[in-house]
Structure 1
């Protein structure tokens, strides 16, 4: 018996033993329900049904495979029904957890948002999303309370300003992280904009790339701050200068966090700007053809890289997908500063870019619309989003910088934020996410306000912000393992006067970091045995551990360095 490989149209003998669902090894036969619905119908095809059937006939007309599967290929997930506490998250079926409304993700791919685009984004929030809009740490705009009947009009408005939700979710190449200061920074190594645009032009929405084993995340930067968290993406292109070939990219593959975190590795190759799109295409096709599909929890590229190693991965990329060797290349230099781009910075053309910090990414319709007005009023060019739930206003005339900074404040987008407002991130949390166990956004906002008051006396003594990341479940959308202080939501047991009680709380990770976030290179944090903090005591804990760090650290010692060297008692 033989099997036909649908990706390459080659015929290969079956492999003895248990199949991992690798198309180029085991053949394309679906091995689980998710693979079955993907094989039955390409996820991109659901858009026509949304526009012609579901938007007309309503939520109850949507079959399960579309509602809980293919809708993701267009950035749509059902959101959590209000009133379900975190203790029931793992006990209920998806249909019991979900509401009749959707979360919707809009991808920006490191692109510049004009005032017209900002007004469209703000209008969608106001008209269809009950005023909600969040900047995610994937440079997306994320809405909630979206009704299925409004989706076609939302798409029409987005596409009128060059935005889309195409493959914003699902087993696809999701939104790309791109440097927020691409093309304008005075110290840029290479502008990644042409590469991102070419990849999108050639392959965004390509049916041949819309049935991957699982999600596939991309990051591309040419800025020396290393501002796209390249260590935790499936594929990253990082700007470097080759001693003979000039500016180009260093290639990293296999990064991802979630419940089994793994940092990406360099393949050691140099990629020219001209070849970068083809190299990206080769890596994503390796994932499509060789990625594990039998078990969903083993279906990310990091598991294939763990088994193959970098040498074999490079060999397969060069021989099977590119047809030639790539030159060896240098590693990126240590980052020159924090990659969130908060504050005022001079551009290479003499204008300025200004990074503003909302509170844990929350913006909303009035903020986005007000930002559009402000950008036009001061004569700036556009806005980009960052991988840290922040935004950057581009092309501000020198004489209007103060006006811009002043105008950001009433919008809740402060350019000189406090250290914890600058460095705190939070995922969606239990308010809308069906996987979450605890609240994150409101908890984080309250903690920031508390710490601004409690730790004001320490601010002059802290060399750099201390990153505080809150996640509502173990999946690490807010990158808890790579923060100075990472908090993983769970239900914990505490002693009360009435006896043991279960309350929302967090497991603590300490001392993680990524290049571009105050570290020269990435590293995963440590956990302290038994260290769990009730949600109501997060500010107490952070204040306690930060004051201990300030009192005990050696000169120039970072929080991460101190946390890894401290004994467990000091971290309680």
Structure 2
């Protein structure tokens, strides 16, 4: 794609909106919709909401209409938005760095139980999403969240979304840097800032000193990755332009070294480049990754330094090697002598009741600090050594496993057709069925594996970088009467991974399985791996050399 005025780049003088989304943002900043919800829409109810607010600006405060129940995936691309949507909302609570106090988690749990039918989903971006929310209740929910220092500000929309950070930030014994201060400063300075509330598309950030690289810097728009320079000073290596969806691209290093006190300024510079030079003509090409692909890292760094920072940044070292499988599950020693206890969910799904009980557990056993993870898990911090086994048992009683099976540990899922208007298939239940069947059929499977179940091509569950990635599709199958009907199915992606050997999964044009066949297929391909692998060979490495018929 040619980078130029024709792509709607503000910095090149093209301010005329080029599509309905750009016109909507020009006409009324998304940040202004909050007051209309408080003053008007909570009183009029759903039917009184302006469509431009309902399907656009509401996202600036984490609100999406949820899918009406019972609409099959085959109707997703056919029906108009107003035909797909219910009169309830998904509400995304922004949790930067996954950082929660017991008081905050208790409030989230209570809100879920009272207003959201006791459902709560932990996302792979450290947020918590609630469902079944009525517009009449949103202002009260905001009041309760804000009273404990939480919000839904810019949880969605063409904004700087939640900023990821390691759940063990500040306590990890092996951290290369402590990103806590840099993260807090960046949020304090720029969250809700009108200077960045109209970006070409969403903008995803991670800032972390984690030695495991657990917040996946390879697929963020901008990532600050912990490193140490030649003198041993901790700082950050900057990566830009990562993202998945229908055109996946890995982020690239700018090659600069950024100190902790420079992170917020450099973040604003990168975000400013996206705002001013990002492509606004087509929504399908509006992410930062497309601009970086056209410019390259050398030009990007030059523009960042000359136009935004007004100074040069020093060259910096590459990060240490990254493992393909990253999480913080189990009992982990903190640098202060206490322990963190990390646990998995059921593919992200939990309940308000469980969250409230977890908050109580954090108070009774530890110091009231909880973290969410980028793998849809939860971590309890500051557990005394003598209380770790009690924590493990009590977490298990809440449906949170600190000693999960290989498949439980590695399975995640997006929201799916249960609530998402873009989805083609159900995901949470499918993921759990696949996981439970693999646990039953391959109980001694001894290698880390990721199974990511996604409801559509948008990759909210990162199917392209999973060992086994299931992308939801609708497939015609023959019924008993000989007619053809729509069935939920998956296109399979195999051998994807993040880390030092990052690669997107292999896919084959004919490799599609119905949802009911997914456990059988996963068992077959994993059994083939066990039979043919070499000593120490990962599943991704096996897939890269596998003959095609081994994988079909």
TM-score, with normalisation over the residues of structure 1?
0.94
Q: How does 1:68-83 map to 2 (within 5 A)?
A: 68-83=55-70
Instruction: Out of 88-97 and 327-336, give the one that drifted further.
Output: 327-336
Q: CA deviation at 1:245?
A: 6.4
Of 368, 372, 379, 1:385 maps to: 372
Task: Please name the residue that 1:479 is paired with.
Answer: 462
For 1:199 and 1:444, the matched residues in 2 are separated by: 35
Distance verdict in 2 for CA 1:16–1:411, change over 3 Å: closer
Query: What is the deviation of 1:498?
Result: 3.9
- The answer to whether the Cα contact below 8 Å between 2:95 and 2:127 also exists between their aligned partners in 1 is yes
Where 2:300 maps in the other structure, the secondary structure is helix
**Secondary structure of residue in 2 paired with 1:278:** helix
Secondary structure of the residue aligned to 1:408 is helix
Q: Does 1:490 align with 2:473?
A: yes
Structure 1: give runs of 5+ residues left out of the alignment.
1-14
The farther-off stretch of 17-26 and 166-175 is 17-26
Equivalent position of 2:316 in the other structure: 329
| CA offset digits 1:64-121 (Å, max 9, x no partner) | 1100111000000000000100000000010000000000101111143111111101
Q: Does 1:51 align with 2:38?
A: yes
Give the secondary structure class of the aligned counterpart of 1:27: coil
Shift of 1:373: 1.4
State which of 486, 499, 506 in structure 2 corresponds to 1:502.
Answer: 486
8 A Cα contact 1:20 1:26, kept in partner: no
**Residue matched to 1:302:** 289
- How many angstroms apart in 1 are the aligned matches of 2:241 and 2:485? 41
Q: Deviations over 1:141-160 (max 9, x none)?
A: 00110000000111011111
Indicate the residue corresponding to 1:122 in structure 2.
109
Asked whether the equivalents of residues 269 and 329 of structure 1 are also in contact (C-alpha less than 8 Å), the reply is yes
Q: Select which of 145, 155, 176 maps to 1:189.
A: 176
Cα deviation digits, residues 267-299 of structure 1 (max 9, x gap):
111111111110000000000000000000000
Q: Map 1:444-523; keep pairs closer than 5 Å.
A: 444-456=431-443, 458-459=444-445, 462=446, 464-495=447-478, 497-499=480-482, 500-515=484-499, 520-523=500-503
- SS of 1:113's partner is strand
Unaligned runs of 5+ in 2: none
Aligned residues: 550
Distance 1:18 1:273, change over 3 A: closer
Deviation for aligned residue 1:18: 6.5
How much is the aligned-residue C-alpha RMSD, in angstroms? 1.4
Which of 92, 114, 123 is equivalent to 1:105?
A: 92
SS of 1:486 mapped into structure 2: strand
CA distance in 1, matches of 2:465, 2:76: 25
Q: What is the aligned partner in structure 1 of residue 528 from structure 2?
A: 548
Three-state SS of the structure 2 residue aligned to 1:275 is helix
2:123 is the counterpart of 1:143:
no
Partner Cα separation in structure 2 for residue 521 and residue 17 of structure 1: 34
**Once structures 1 and 2 are overlaid, which stretch shifts more, 370-379 or 260-269?**
370-379
Q: Deviations over 1:161-187 (max 9, x none)?
A: 111100000000000111110000111
CA–CA separation in structure 2 for the residues paired with 1:277 and 1:134: 29
1:421 to 404, 408, 411: 408
Q: Residue 19 of structure 1: CA displacement? A: 1.6
Which of 489, 494, 514 is the matching residue for 1:534? 514
Please tell me whether residue 562 in structure 1 is matched to residue 546 in structure 2: no
For residues 321-351 of structure 1, the C-alpha deviation after alignment (integer angstroms, 9 at most, x for no partner) is: 0011111111111136843100111000000
Kept after mapping to 2: 8 A contact 1:108/1:175 = yes
User: Residue 10 of structure 1 corresponds to which residue in structure 2?
Assistant: none
> Residue 366 of structure 2 contacts residue 381 of structure 2 at CA under 8 Å; is this kept in 1?
no
Q: Distance in 2 between matches of 1:529 and 1:379?
A: 51
- Counterpart selection for 1:399 from 372, 377, 386: 386
Q: What is the SS of the residue equivalent to 2:110? A: helix
Q: Distance in 2 between matches of 1:468 and 1:498?
A: 35
